[in-house]
């Protein structure tokens, strides 16, 4: 193993937790804007992709995020769909936000507990699960064909 490979592996190990932290910051900071769950999911997925590039398919496939990619995407899809369609059960339009205008909003620290936050978390999990699952599938296919 040459020095470049050792350096690449060391940096990729350091950048995976950093990518997760940056993704969570993007998710929390911009939760009221559109697309932040998607962007945060892509950031985490790029951190996982970096593991595949540095280590090949053996080590990343042992990561919990890779092993549970299908479950993450299913849960994320169910959460996003629930936030989207539950208001219809109460006679409201699709994607009606809770709490409504001029109603009291609960807080956890600086984060407001409102339905766009839940929707972004659902999109975040869906994107991570899907992209990491696709990366893992491509990696396994390349590994199988190279034998």
pLDDT tens per residue across span 52-76: 999 988 888 889 999 999 999 999 9
Q: What is the pTM of this model?
A: 0.87
What's the average model confidence in pLDDT over 30-50? 84
Per the structure, the complete domain to which residue 132 belongs is given by: 3-146
Q: What is the pLDDT of residue 106?
A: 82
CA pseudo-torsion sign 69, 22, 24, 11? positive
Q: What is the pLDDT of residue 34?
A: 56
Number of domains composing the chain = 1
Contact yes or no for 5/59 (Cβ under 8 A): no
Q: For residues 70 and 33, which has the higher predicted lDDT (pLDDT)? A: 70
The pLDDT tens digits of the residues spanning 109-142 come to 777 778 888 899 999 999 999 999 999 999 999 9
């Amino acid at each position: 193993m040459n020095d470049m490979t050792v350096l690449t592996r060391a940096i990729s190990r350091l950048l995976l937790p950093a990518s997760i932290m940056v993704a969570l910051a993007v998710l929390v900071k911009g939760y009221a804007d559109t697309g932040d769950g998607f962007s945060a999911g892509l950031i985490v997925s790029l951190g996982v992709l970096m593991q595949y590039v540095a280590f090949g398919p053996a080590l990343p496939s042992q990561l919990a995020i890779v092993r549970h990619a299908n479950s993450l995407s299913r849960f994320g899809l169910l959460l996003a769909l629930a936030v989207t369609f539950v208001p219809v059960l109460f006679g409201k339009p699709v994607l009606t936000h809770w709490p409504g205008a001029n109603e009291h909003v609960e807080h956890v620290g600086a984060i407001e507990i409102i339905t766009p936050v839940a929707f972004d978390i659902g999109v975040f999990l869906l994107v991570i699960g899907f992209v990491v699952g696709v990366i893992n599938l491509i990696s396994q296919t390349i590994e199988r064909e190279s034998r």
